Chains A and B, each alone.
Chain A
Amino acid sequence: MAVDYKALKDGGFMRQKQKNHFSLRLKVVGGNLSAEQFAVIAEISKKYGKGYVHLTSRQGVEIPFIRLEDVEKVKAELASGGVDTGVCGPRVRTVTACQGSAVCPSGCIDTTALARAVSERYFGRTLPHKFKFGITGCANNCLKAEENDLGIKGGYLVEWIPAACTLCGVCAKACREGALEQTDTEIHLDREKCTNCGRCVKACPFDAWRGEPGYLVSFGGTFGNLIAKGRQVLPVIREEQTLFRVADAALDYFDRHAKPGERFRVALERCGWEDFMKEMEAAYRGGDSD
């Protein structure tokens, strides 16, 4: 029987240059794997591969040198050890994330939990071309949100609380954007300059800044043959529900408008951003969602 390379690839088995060997892509969500999963992966790589793994640029793990005749066994052993295989081809790929607010002092959102939710909802969904989600916890952008088809960046919507402020001067210096100016009586916030980084909130010794977490979403980023930065076309999103409404709408738009094999960014450029922005704004407002 002929080998169905496409089916294998769709299921994460990447054909190697060495005949009948595959580099097996595993499913990783938000860059986290448990110690138990690592042990299983180590075992499989020794038993069926060459005793090493390759870490991809997008927090993925691949086990190279899996032989064709072992594919089914490897799948079964991984599954029973709690490790899922990844995907390739025209679909939603590994959802990447930094450690976010659960671990990182700078984090504004729980990226790990969000990556799980995003992955659960979209991972593996077939689309006209590959589609990448990346989630970063704050403006430091360790996870490089804008290089993804859909990037999510955590931020704080900040508000100064005059009654708690001692005019100690810390926040105005902590802000890297020059958005804060201290006078004799107040801290003036220039919202035009504010990037929602949250540094004022994190630095204030007197809790005189309120920071409400939110999501800054960018669309159409890509960092392969074509390099383009994702664009933020919406205001900061406050609710996770709204975030998913917007993401649903973006994927639907991609599905409806892109030609087969056309990347999200290319489709956006071809169709024009205005139309897309209108749909995103409608989704943001909650108008005609499903």
Chain B
Amino acid sequence: MAEIRIDAAVDITDVVCPVTFVKAKVALEELDDRQILSIRLKDGEPVQNVPRSMKEEGHQVLRLTDNGDGTFTLLVRKAE
């Protein structure tokens, strides 16, 4: 898979749904359009729901990677 250039990162493993999504959204707001945010999130509800919520908001989800430690990394490109 081609390398993706990450513009910013946020860790939402320290909060629970629905704050996970809110925290990720706030981080996205700091970015310019089409910039890429890396989101670290926990297994379970966050990884079940946050990618979909991002899609519903119109952002482009690029990839979800299992970090092997109970966390995942989600790459999202901010909507134009």
Contact = CB atoms under 8 A, between A and B. Distances in A.
B10 interface: no
Q: Which of B55, B64, B66, B72 has the largest count of A CB atoms less than 10 A from its CB?
A: B64
Contact of B63 (A168, A176, A199, A203): A168
Nearest to A205: B61
Contacts of A203: 51-52, 55
Contacts of A81: none
Interface residues of B, number: 16
A166 B51 CA distance: 15
A103 to B, nearest CB: 14
Contacts of A204: 55
Interface residues of A, number: 13
B52 A169 contact: no
Most buried by A among B52, B54, B55, B65: B52
B35 interface: no
Given A168-B61, A168-B64, A105 B51 contact: no
B17 interface: no
10 contacts: A168-B64, A170-B51, A174-B48, A174-B51, A174-B52, A176-B48, A199-B52, A202-B52, A203-B51, A205-B55
Interface of B: 47-49, 51-52, 54-56, 60-66, 72
Given A173-B48, A174-B48, 13 more contacts: A105-B56, A166-B62, A168-B61, A168-B64, A169-B63, A170-B52, A170-B64, A173-B47, A173-B64, A176-B48, A203-B51, A205-B61, A205-B62
